Structure 1
Amino acid sequence: MATVIKIYALFLGSALLMFGGGLQGLLLSVRGAEEHFSLIALGLIGTGWSVGFVAGSIMVPRIVRNVGHIRAFSVMAAIGTVTILLNLLWLNDIGWILLRGLSGFCFAGAAMIVESWLNEVADNKSRGTIFSIYVTINMAASTVGQMAISITGTAGYIPFVLGAISFICAILPTALTSSPQPQPLQSAKLDVRLLYRTSPAAAVAAFATGMASGSFGTLAPVYGYQQGLDPSGIALLFAIAAILGALAQIPFGRLSDRIDRRLVMIGLSGFAAVVGLLTVVINPGAGWVMYVLFAAYGFAAYPIYAIAVAHANDFARDGDFAKIAGSMLLLFGIGNAIGPVVASVIMNVWAPVGLFIVTAVFHALLAIAAYLRMRVRESVDVSDRAPFQPVSDKQVTPETFVLDPRGDSDAPEFEVRREAPVPDELMETADGEQHVQGSSTV
Structure 2
Amino acid sequence: MNTQLRSIAAILLSTALFLIGNGLLGTVTPVRATLEGFGDIVIGLIGSFYYAGFVLGCFAGPRMLARVGHVRTFAVAAGLGAVTPLLQLLVVNEVVWILVRGLFGFAAANLYMVIESWLNETATNETRGRILAAYMTVNFLGLMGGQMLFTTGRATSFALFSLSAIFYAICLIPMGLTRLAQPKPAPVPRLRPLRLFRIAPVGVAGCIAVGFANGAVWTLAPVYAQDHGITRALLAVFMVAFTAGGALFQVPLGRLSDRVDRRYVIAIVSLLAGIAGVALALFGSINSRNALFLVALFGALALPLYGLSVAHANDRLPREMFIEASATLLFLNAFASVLGPTIAALITVHEGSSALFLYTAAVHFALAIFAFARLRVAERPPEETREPYAPVPQATVAALELDPRGPEAPEAEPGR
Q: Shorter-chain-normalised TM-score: which range? A: over 0.9
Q: Quickly say closer, same or farther: Cα 1:242–1:378, change in 2 above 3 A.
A: same
Return the offset for 1:408. Answer: 2.5
Name the structure 2 match of 1:408: 407
Comparing 327-336 with 245-254, greater Cα deviation is found at: 327-336
* Structure 1 residue 288 corresponds to structure 2 residue 289: yes
Return the offset for 1:388. Answer: 0.9
Query: How far apart in 2 are the matches of 1:50 and 1:384?
Result: 34
Query: How far apart in 2 are the matches of 1:382 and 1:179?
Result: 40
Name the structure 2 match of 1:140: 141
Contact 2:81 2:104 in 1 (8 A): yes
Name the structure 2 match of 1:273: 274
* Structure 1 residue 61 corresponds to structure 2 residue 51: no
Comparing 273-282 with 355-364, greater Cα deviation is found at: 273-282
Query: How far apart in 1 are the matches of 2:194 and 2:410?
Result: 21
Name the structure 1 match of 2:320: 319
Structure 1 runs of 4+ aligned residues shifted over 6 Å read none
Name the structure 2 match of 1:333: 334
AA in 2 matched with 1:243: A
Contact 2:207 2:305 in 1 (8 A): no
Paired residue secondary structure (1:352): coil
Q: Quickly say closer, same or farther: Cα 1:119–1:131, change in 2 above 3 A.
A: same
Gaps of 5+ in 2: 412-416
Name the structure 2 match of 1:211: 212
Return the offset for 1:411. Answer: 8.5
Question: Cα deviations across residues 420-439 of structure 1 (Å, max 9, x unaligned)?
Answer: xxxxxxxxxxxxxxxxxxxx
AA in 1 matched with 2:279: L
AA in 1 matched with 2:213: A
Contact 2:53 2:102 in 1 (8 A): yes
AA in 2 matched with 1:172: I
Query: How far apart in 1 are the matches of 2:73 and 2:392?
Result: 26
Paired residue secondary structure (2:354): helix
Return the offset for 1:32. Answer: 0.8
Name the structure 2 match of 1:385: 386
| 1:340-351 pair list within 5 angstroms | 340-351=341-352
Name the structure 1 match of 2:80: 79
| 1:3-18 pair list within 5 angstroms | 3-18=4-19
Return the offset for 1:407. Answer: 2.0
Query: How far apart in 2 are the matches of 1:80 and 1:297?
Result: 30
Query: How far apart in 1 are the matches of 2:337 and 2:410?
Result: 29
Return the offset for 1:244. Answer: 1.6
Question: Cα deviations across residues 84-134 of structure 1 (Å, max 9, x unaligned)?
Answer: 211111111111110001100111001110111111110011111100110
* Structure 1 residue 399 corresponds to structure 2 residue 395: no
Question: Cα deviations across residues 141-181 of structure 1 (Å, max 9, x unaligned)?
Answer: 10111111012332311111111111111122332222111
| 1:360-375 pair list within 5 angstroms | 360-375=361-376
Name the structure 2 match of 1:182: 183
Query: How far apart in 2 are the matches of 1:153 and 1:383?
Result: 55
CA RMSD of aligned residues (A): 1.6
Name the structure 2 match of 1:303: 304
AA in 1 matched with 2:345: S
TM-score by length of 1: 0.90
* Number of corresponding residues: 410
AA in 1 matched with 2:17: L
Paired residue secondary structure (1:297): helix
Paired residue secondary structure (2:188): coil
Question: Cα deviations across residues 180-227 of structure 1 (Å, max 9, x unaligned)?
Answer: 110113335322123212311111111111111011111111011111
AA in 2 matched with 1:154: A
AA in 2 matched with 1:321: F
AA in 1 matched with 2:180: S
Q: Looking at both structures, which has the greater relative contact order when contacts are Cα pairs under 8 Å and sequence separation is at least 6?
A: 2
Return the offset for 1:310. Answer: 0.8
AA in 2 matched with 1:399: A
Query: How far apart in 2 are the matches of 1:199 and 1:225?
Result: 39
Question: Cα deviations across residues 385-430 of structure 1 (Å, max 9, x unaligned)?
Answer: 221111244xx11112122222225389xxxxxxxxxxxxxxxxxx
Contact 1:30 1:231 in 2 (8 A): no
AA in 2 matched with 1:14: T
Contact 1:258 1:382 in 2 (8 A): no
Query: How far apart in 1 are the matches of 2:369 and 2:410?
Result: 36
Return the offset for 1:44. Answer: 0.3
Gaps of 5+ in 1: 413-442
Contact 2:319 2:405 in 1 (8 A): no
Query: How far apart in 2 are the matches of 1:155 and 1:363?
Result: 35
Name the structure 1 match of 2:52: 51
Name the structure 2 match of 1:255: 256
TM-score by length of 2: 0.95
Contact 1:30 1:221 in 2 (8 A): yes
Name the structure 2 match of 1:160: 161
Return the offset for 1:282. Answer: 3.1
| 1:202-241 pair list within 5 angstroms | 202-241=203-242
| 1:20-35 pair list within 5 angstroms | 20-35=21-36
AA in 2 matched with 1:85: L
Taking every aligned residue pair, what percent have the same amino acid on both sides?
A: 37
Contact 2:318 2:385 in 1 (8 A): no
AA in 1 matched with 2:404: P
Contact 1:266 1:367 in 2 (8 A): yes
Name the structure 1 match of 2:414: none
Query: How far apart in 2 are the matches of 1:144 and 1:74?
Result: 23
AA in 1 matched with 2:71: I
AA in 2 matched with 1:78: G
Query: How far apart in 1 are the matches of 2:77 and 2:232?
Result: 29
Contact 2:70 2:182 in 1 (8 A): yes
Comparing 304-313 with 223-232, greater Cα deviation is found at: 223-232
